[in-house]
Amino acid sequence: MELKQFLCLARYEARGGFRVAAMRFDGERLGPWARLMGHGKGGALHLNEVRYRNKSPARPLDLFLAPIEAAVPNPPQTENLLVGQRPRWRKTGDYPRELLGDLCSSPLMLWSDKTSTKAGLYDRVLAPEAMELESSLLLIELDQYIVDVTRRPVSDEKVVRMRFSHLEREYRLQLCEDVVRRRYARHSPGEYEVTRPAAACITLGPPGKQGRIKRVASLIPLEA
């Protein structure tokens, strides 16, 4: 097991727990993407596992150390790393918000723009095509976006999705970032326009009945 340093770019809910999307950091340069996963079912990390010694959970723009047991790639989630349960993660600093925009990319599409789920828009990648991809995490810059709060027809549970444009293509993706999602879930169903520029971390999920689903893992304001 090795202690590795990372820049946190998302802490999001997925399959019975949390995942953390990050970039490796050697003290001077940022390296490739990493998705930190635990020993829980489906790779779940429990909330206590993503907390520092002072009980504060990892947040975007934190620099931190975490124990890494092994790489566990599951194409296209080639970034997956298995996290050890000890020692606790340790925060080492804060990444300057004013440099965040430099980390954003402008891909021509979010992996593939051929199919959608019933509730989303260009939010799905079918399994055969997904297996040919080499990554499952992106950071893009948004000037504005719309938060769309709806209710599921049977359970009446609120669902929070985001509508945004990237290179003139409109997307509608589910929001799985825990703090922002919970805040909007307290709102009445409707559309909420946000004009504050942000970096959005997009994740392509594990295999499911509908293929691989794109979700918004975090929204990080580009200005304090």
Look at residue 207 in the predicted model and tell me its pLDDT.
Answer: 81
Q: Is the pLDDT of residue 139 over 90?
A: yes
Cα-Cα-Cα-Cα torsion 100, 73, 51, 183, nearest 10 degrees, comes to 60
pTM for this one?
0.94
Structure tokens, 60: 């975007």
What is the tens place of the pLDDT at every residue in 173-198? 999 998 899 999 999 999 999 999 99
Q: What does the alpha-carbon distance between residue 49 and residue 33 come to, in Å, rounded to a whole number?
A: 20
Q: Give residue 153's pLDDT.
A: 83
By residue count, the chain amounts to: 224
Question: What's the pLDDT score for residue 220?
Answer: 96
Distance of CA 111 to the CA centre of its chain: 15
CA distances for 182 relative to 7, 12, 86, 106, angstroms = 24, 11, 29, 28
Q: Distance from CA of residue 42 to its chain's centroid? A: 16
